Amino acid sequence: MVSLSPTLQQRLRSPLAIGAVTVHSRVLQSPLSGVTDRAFRQLVRRYAPASMLYTEMVQATGVCHAQQLEKIMDIDASEQPISIQLFDCRPDFMAAAARKAVAEGAQTIDINMGCPVNKITKKGGGSSLLRQPEVAEAIVRTVAAAVSVPVTVKTRIGWDDDHINAVDFARRMEAAGAQMLTLHGRTRSQGYHGPARWDWIAQVKAALSIPVIANGDIVSVEAAVRCLEQTGADGVMCSRGTLGYPFLVGEIDAFLKTGTVPLAPTPTDKLRCAHEHLSLLWRYKGQKGIYQARKHMAWYVKGFEGAAPLRQQLCQIDTVEAGYALLNGAIAELDSAIAAVERPRPWPFKCNDVLPVG
Ligand SMILES: Cc1cc2nc3c(=O)[nH]c(=O)nc-3n(C[C@H](O)[C@H](O)[C@H](O)COP(=O)(O)O)c2cc1C
């Protein structure tokens, strides 16, 4: 069973200070492209009322030329604290986009320096900035001068195993004006494979004065506590562990605040959450939301009998009604299975009673 040491509890008692912004939670929901839209964030927010949420990453030029404005314009007032994550390699575009993002309600601006995707790194953005620290510094400096809110950086430990430069790079970001650094403990060439190397996060934490947030493999309360103990980080950021499980950030946050792990959601709780997620995607995005819902539905549906065929069917839904029908059917089936198990026996047997035969 996971326990919270008094030292860790003491260390994390005060709120997270990101420059002048105070966040009353040490657990953050990461930016996830294609996932952390308004619908998903709304669910995370319910269980984690104080945590920092992030938009999906948005290209700065896209914001400046309005094609990607919709991604940041759908922020609801109830979503605070929220950060808008931008990527690009041109400091001026980044600064202009950051100003627009602040006007849309961003409480901090996060700069993506970790994305491994070729399409982005080839153009000098995402993790390729790890190979151009001077450009990365110029971006942070220019954006920090352009906006009144704190500027933060999310990056990786290096490009590949021969070029791990996390400590030097992080120091440069701090000196350029970053107010918090989130470190994903993998190299760019690792992608999302292999264990996250928390030892590098510990080294970066020891080298900086600004808050350092640990990211990578934070998939449970137990993992979060272990990572915080091992790295000394100021907080943790959850990523893939939240796919089909928007409860995670809130679960870890509750544990860090109370020392008690909240009751885990049952399969029916998860299906009800999937139902709501589908309905939010339909409300906010219409038909496009239904296609996007397919992958989310598949992530929710696991760990009970009949999950595999249900997943198959949910991956093909074309209408919101089809999704509701499948989910409602599965919820009813699970409910009746539970009721059957929990139904009291017709008469009480004692252990040495002879059971009736036939
Ligand atoms: C589907 C997906 C989308 C992602 N999108 C973003 C993004 O928009 N911005 C970002 O900084 N990181 C993004 N990431 C990286 C995660 O935020 C995180 O750094 C990474 O998954 C490591 O954490 P984990 O091991 O807990 O998943 C993405 C990861 C995945 C799997």
Residue nearest to atom 27 of ligand 1 (CA): 240
Residue closest to 177 by CA, chosen among 208, 143, 211: 143
How many angstroms separate the Cα of 266 from the Cα of each of 17, 161, 263, 300?
35, 41, 9, 11
Which residue among 115, 227, 238, 273 is the active-site one? 115
Average pLDDT over residues 8-18: 94
- pLDDT tens digits along 133-186: 999 999 999 999 999 999 999 999 999 999 999 999 999 999 999 999 999 999
Mean pLDDT of the chain: 92
CA dihedral 133, 135, 137, 139 (to 10 degrees): -140
CB 85 less than 6 A from any atom of ligand 1? yes
d(CA 240, ligand 1 centre) in Å: 7
Domain ranges of the chain: 6-258, 267-342
d(CA 32, ligand 1 centre) in Å: 5
Q: What residues are paired with 28 via a beta bridge? A: 237
> Between β-strands 21-23 and 16-18, what pairing exists: parallel, antiparallel or unpaired?
antiparallel
**Amino acid sitting at position 235:** G
Architecture of domain 6-258: Alpha-Beta Barrel (3.20)
Question: How far apart (Å, rounded) are the C-alpha atoms in residues 143 and 178?
Answer: 10
Is the pLDDT score of 107 beyond 80?
A: yes
Residue closest to 105 by CA, chosen among 59, 74, 130, 126: 74
Is the pLDDT score of 205 beyond 80?
A: yes
How many angstroms separate the Cα of 32 from the Cα of each of 6, 55, 123, 124, 326?
33, 8, 20, 20, 27
Ligand 1 atom showing the smallest separation from residue 218 Cα: 26
Q: DSSP assignment, residue 109?
A: E
Q: Name the fold adopted by 267-342.
A: 1.10.1200
- pLDDT tens digits along 221-279: 999 999 999 999 999 999 999 999 999 999 999 999 999 999 999 999 999 999 999 99
Q: Helix or strand or coil: residue 84?
A: strand
CB 248 less than 6 A from any atom of ligand 1? no
Per-residue pLDDT at 58: 92
Q: What residues are paired with 53 via a beta bridge? A: 82
Is the pLDDT score of 66 beyond 90?
A: no
Q: What residues are paired with 236 via a beta bridge? A: 27, 214
Instruction: Return the exposure string of 93-130: e unless at least 16 CB atoms fall within 10 Å of the residue's CB, then b.
Output: bbbbbbbbbbebebbbbbbbbbbbeeebbeeebbbbbb
CB 274 less than 6 A from any atom of ligand 1? no
The tokens for 31 are 């930016």
Per-residue pLDDT at 353: 40
CB 114 less than 6 A from any atom of ligand 1? yes
**Amino acid sitting at position 292:** Q
Residue nearest to atom 10 of ligand 1 (CA): 31
CB 295 less than 6 A from any atom of ligand 1? no
What is the separation, in whole angstroms, between the first and last Cα of the chain? 44
Among this protein's residues, is 273 annotated catalytic? Answer: no
Q: How confident is the model at residue 346 (pLDDT cuts 50, 70, 90)?
A: very low
Give the residue, out of 27, 30, 112, 113, with the most ligand 1 atoms within 8 A of its beta carbon, to mutate for a pocket test: 30
Q: How confident is the model at residue 338 (pLDDT cuts 50, 70, 90)?
A: confident
